[in-house]
Structure 1
Amino acid sequence: ANLLDFSDGSFIVQTIHSVSFPRLAVIFLHGQSFNSKKWEELGTLALLSENGYRAIAIDLPGENKLQGETALPIFLGYILSGRVAFLQQVFKELGLQQPVLISSSMSGRYSIPFLLASGEQLKGFVPIAPVGTKDFTTQQYQQVKIPTLIIYGERDTGLGTQSLQSLQQIPKSRVVMLLGAGHACYLDKPQEFHKALLNFLGELK
């Protein structure tokens, strides 16, 4: 894990060896009760690196389980503008230009506001049953211009189907439902998740 220091705190960046000339940068946000380490344990970061992508997973503010302490001030997690600014700062610090953003569950508090405010800074978006989708309007989603892959589990009748109703308003969106999977569908069906993700990334220009 690499520690990235900010002026107002620090957070863990968990990353697998980057390739010399990456096809794209892909940044992963974690769900509640997890941290960036989960994407490494799942083999996702290594798989993407093997396929030529720069794969990075970060800890969200207040979720820094690796250090055992709160990273950035936790209020950033509750102020919408602060969440957008946090991701913008992460992209700047890591030198990311138009990465693909992968966001599961609780991290929707960060990714959805960022998508609607600064979506042009992304090459693509992969929401996995994120929270907070109902806080915004159909018109806002219809203005999103980037390719979006919506992934959710068949058995996730809560956030999965709820977020789908909002996210499918994005014009360039497609949906992958992982059969037999629950809310953390990428953990229940990792092979199917990885296949869908790699197919989507391979189509981005």
Structure 2
Amino acid sequence: MAKSADLQAADLLRDIPDNSLDLVQEAFTVFIRESLPPFNYHVKGTILLLHGQAYTSYVWQNSNMMQIFSAMGFHCIAPDLPGQGRTEGTGIADKEKPRFFSLLIDTLYLKRVIVVAASMAGQYILPLLPDFRITCLVAIALSDSKMPPERSSVIKTPTLVLWGDKDTSLGPICASNLKNLPFVKLIKIPSATHACHESNPKYVQTVILNFLDLITEYDLI
């Protein structure tokens, strides 16, 4: 893990570059935000951050999540999902969302990726599991988390499930639905609402970084 001095030296207020990515097969131009580790450090891994229904990729920048993760050695990419933010094109049907996300990973030429997904983004990521490209998942109060036992038993992807202690809807449901995954850790975030990454970002960042540090020790990233 990067030294605390690295975090102290990093400019966390620097602008997050805006960019766009053409997904030709889907007729989408996807708006993305991207941040890299400072000082030309070795990149530990790439994190794809997927926002929830009422948000855009800006939530990951506004909470300093991207800046913190990059200061600690990770390449971060946060797209505006279809139908939201600055991504061109209309929204897509729920059944098409996993295919869209899979194509996004391929278009970014990512062989291995860490996924941090919130709320509605469960529709994009959960149907893909298990997927050899996805090294681990941080599931923040994901929607559409119900799956039959015979499917959950084969998902070996290391998964961290987070939800706020004030969340009375999707968070507890997600925790209950995913608690039987073979490699899962469940953590309730104190003083946090449904969007716990926004209401208690420092706590969430700490938990996620420690989780990624543990995964790194086992050479999974």
Paired with 1:137 and 1:62, the residues of 2 have a C-alpha distance of 30
Structure 2 unaligned runs (5+)? Answer: 1-17
- Conserved 8 A contact 1:83-1:114: no
Q: Establish whether residue 5 from structure 1 lines up as the match of residue 22 from structure 2.
A: yes
- Whether 1:29 and 2:15 are equivalent positions in the alignment is no
RMSD value, Cα: 1.5
Deviations 1:82-109 (A, max 9, x none): 2222111111111212211111011111
Q: Which has the larger radius of gyration?
A: 2
8 Å Cα contact 1:84/1:113 also seen in 2: yes
Which residue of structure 2 aligns with residue 174 of structure 1? 185
Partner Cα distance (1:151, 1:120) in 2: 23
Between the aligned partners of 1:59 and 1:114, the Cα distance in structure 2 is 19
User: Match for 2:106 among 86, 89, 92?
Assistant: 92
Q: Is the 8 A contact 1:83 1:113 kept in 2?
A: no
Q: Secondary structure at the match of 1:133?
A: coil
| C-alpha distance after superposition, 1:102-146 (max 9, x if no partner) | 11011111111122xx43221100100011012x21221121111
Contact 1:28 1:58 in 2 (8 A): yes
1:122 and 1:72 map into 2 onto residues whose CA distance is 26
CA deviations on 1:12-35 (whole Å, 9 max, x unpaired) are 011113565311111100011111
Residue in 2 that maps onto 1:78: 94
1:156-197 Cα offsets, whole Å, 9 max, x none, are 121111111111111110011111211011111111000001
Whole-angstrom CA distance in 2 between matches of 1:119 and 1:163: 20
Q: Please, which moves more after superposition, 14-23 or 187-196? A: 14-23
SS of equivalent residue, structure 1 residue 46: helix
2: CA distance, partners of 1:181 / 1:191: 11
Report the Cα distance in structure 1 between the residues aligned to 2:107 and 2:142, rounded to whole angstroms.
25
Q: 103, 112, 123: which is aligned to 2:126?
A: 112
The alignment's TM-score, normalised by the length of structure 1, stands at 0.90
1:113-192 to 2 correspondences below 5 Å: 113-115=127-129, 118-134=130-146, 136-192=147-203
